Amino acid sequence: MGPQYTSCVAAKDFWKLPGWVVGVLAAFGLVSFLFAVANPLLFLVGSAALVQALRLTVDWMLNYKLICLHRNKPDCNCGDGGSTVCALGELGDIEEVGEDKNPIEDVDNDYAVNLILSPHSHFEFAKNKENSFDFINNYGKDEVRQPARDNLKLAQKGPQGDLISEQPGMPGFTGIWRTFVFHMTTKEYFPWNELFGHNPGGAGPSGVKSAWTDYLVKNAWKQPVIYSVPILHCEFEGSRIRDVLEAIEVFSFGGSWCKKNFLFRILCTILQSIFAPLALLNAIRAWANATGGSQADALADPAAGLVKPKDFIIVKGRWAYDGGHDGYNEIHAVRIVQKVAYVPQTEAEFAAFQKQWCERLGEVPHVDPAGAGTSGLTPHQQEIYDNQQKPENKWELHPEVDGCEPVGHPEGPDIR
């Protein structure tokens, strides 16, 4: 079971972290360090400012950034009102820990995969191809071109379309895409980054144009086209945000009591400021030693190996809106991921297939490594969990090899 360190809030309780506040605190802290040679007291002041800037950031990211979403048509009996969902589709591409992040953004050490929801095919999306000149001239910008919007509407009409559609109470919604290249002749397709990397031919449109022109010349007979695919972003959480926050809050004897009222918050801030140099060192240690997000714990079948682009997979986890981005839904965090050998590509067949898979996953009891234990299990999940704890069901090789009969079984005594 993949870890989940973050919590989410109701839409009415969401608030955006004021970036200018964090920026002012960080700048004040750095300037104080520069003048600390003349006045050592400024080292304490600078440390306090940096600690508070970091604490505000990681506390917001851990506890307030995500908005809980609840599916109106739950696809599995998860016992949580539809906040846990499962999704089936093709893995489009992978975002490694730290990919495209600056050193400050790297406080978020999640790992992510981008899921293209079934039963839509790449050929359906590729028919809404983009004008390559518009794509090149707007490369790296937030420009959303009409073909991308058309493909989002196409995906939203599918049986899983609600997962990537705007939900009530969202502060904004844009959708999220990944760029692909489709060969109309051979029906092959490739993620743009797989072919060209993140900075093809150097920075700016000229480098992108040069790389794309060269590719067109070498692959002209394949008729390559550029197109955007709407995706469901799926994050496997790393521990850095939680670890850094805990490293700071240890100097205020924890953090939960600090939020009880205004006076307690002031007292906590004073304690963290007094011990700021130690808190800052402890936060740096926690940052360096944090566990990055990965597929490993979430893999339902580790023997099948890691999931990779073009694999069909099923993912299960909490459905949320990430307030730290422009506006889209995601699964955050992924608790289970599993390869699927075959997924039907017609809506009629897919509906029954999805129902069967998601119901089976809904029977799996979760054990939360972040400390929540088995709370929130449905009665059926609790029954399965209780049965799993019985000695006769804890064999690893085979019941006849390392198994046992329960005490008092009519067929005889224990055989282990």
Reported as a single tens digit per residue, the pLDDT across 17-45 is 888 888 888 898 888 888 877 788 888 88
Q: How far is CA 363 from CA 77, 274, 302, 356, in A?
A: 7, 50, 19, 11
Lowest mean pLDDT among 270-274, 279-283, 406-410: 406-410
pLDDT at 369: 46
pLDDT at 37: 72
Q: How far is CA 29 from CA 21, 35, 274, 288, in A?
A: 12, 10, 15, 21
pLDDT (mean) for 176-203? 86
pLDDT at 215: 93
Q: What does the angle CA 3 – CA 73 – CA 87 come to, to the nearest 5 degrees?
A: 45
Top-confidence residue, 101 or 318: 318
Pairwise CA distance, residues 125 & 148, whole Å:
9
Highest mean pLDDT among 102-111, 220-229, 250-259: 220-229
Helices (H) and strands (E) in the chain, counts: 13, 10
pLDDT (mean) for 117-146? 87
pLDDT (mean) for 401-405? 80
pLDDT at 377: 64
State the alpha helices, DSSP H only, in 173-275.
192-196, 204-218, 240-249, 262-274
pLDDT at 196: 86
Top-confidence residue, 47 or 260: 47
pLDDT at 149: 92
